[in-house]
């Protein structure tokens, strides 16, 4: 084998190993956030759950913050892709507001969504973490706004789409808290919200009445 080919193969192998190690650490971080909460998640716990050595963990992500930030950014990217796939798989004849909300709720019902809520709560008293969370959340929201404008061509105003998505996210997060805490009927709440989604969209598109 030519030397250049061997070096290229070695580089790819090293990159594959690095990517696999990072993925294992970030997956374990999400699992720990879900199981132990933000306060209970430690770098040692993540290393143990990922079956990665402490040395490798500190090499890739020296601190808990590094782990959590990278894991949440990756999770939000995954959610954005899941939202995109879910919306694009709906047949054109079935692209309704209630179908869109049901698709969002299905993804928000994944166990990993609890990790998002843990970090959101933790960021309340951590300015740096809050800035990062707000950034990735805004990016995810924009992805869903763009999808909604594509999914529902009758919505032509980006500001209207933003209002609808903000309303939907508020519902999703509230229902997700109900599900995680084990009280209320979050599925019934979201089913009712889905049935009212077309009306809510129409109201969002209605210009405010100017004062006399």
Which structural domains are found in the chain, ordered by start?
A: 3-205 (1.10.357.10)
- Rounded to two decimals, what is the model's pTM? 0.79
pLDDT tens, residue by residue, 60-88:
999 999 999 999 999 999 988 988 898 88
Task: Give the tens place of pLDDT for each residue, 110-157.
Answer: 889 899 999 999 999 999 889 999 999 999 899 999 988 888 888 888
Q: What angle do CA 174, 176, 177 make, to 5 degrees?
A: 65
Residue 118 · residue 97 · CB < 8 Å: no
Query: Three-class SS of residue 200?
Result: helix
Round to whole Å and give the CA distance between 54 and 44.
7
């Amino acid at each position: 084998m030519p030397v250049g080919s061997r070096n290229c193969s070695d580089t790819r192998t090293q990159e594959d190993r690095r990517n696999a190690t990072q993925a294992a650490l970030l997956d374990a971080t999400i699992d720990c956030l879900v199981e132990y909460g933000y306060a209970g998640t430690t770098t040692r716990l993540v290393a143990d759950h990922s079956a990665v050595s402490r040395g490798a963990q500190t090499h890739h992500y020296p601190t808990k913050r590094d782990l959590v930030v990278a894991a949440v950014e990756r999770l939000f990217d995954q959610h954005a892709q899941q939202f995109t796939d879910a919306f694009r798989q709906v047949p054109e004849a079935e692209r309704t507001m209630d179908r869109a909300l049901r698709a969002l709720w299905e993804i928000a019902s994944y166990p990993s969504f609890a990790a998002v809520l843990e970090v959101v709560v933790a960021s309340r008293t951590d300015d740096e973490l809050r800035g990062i969370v707000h950034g990735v959340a805004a990016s995810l929201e924009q992805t869903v706004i763009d999808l909604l404008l594509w999914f529902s061509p009758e919505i032509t105003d980006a500001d209207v789409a933003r209002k609808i998505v903000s309303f939907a996210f508020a519902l999703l997060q509230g229902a997700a808290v109900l599900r995680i805490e084990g009280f209320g009927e979050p599925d019934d709440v979201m089913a009712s919200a889905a049935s009212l989604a077309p009306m809510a969209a129409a109201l969002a598109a209605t210009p405010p009445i100017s004062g006399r």
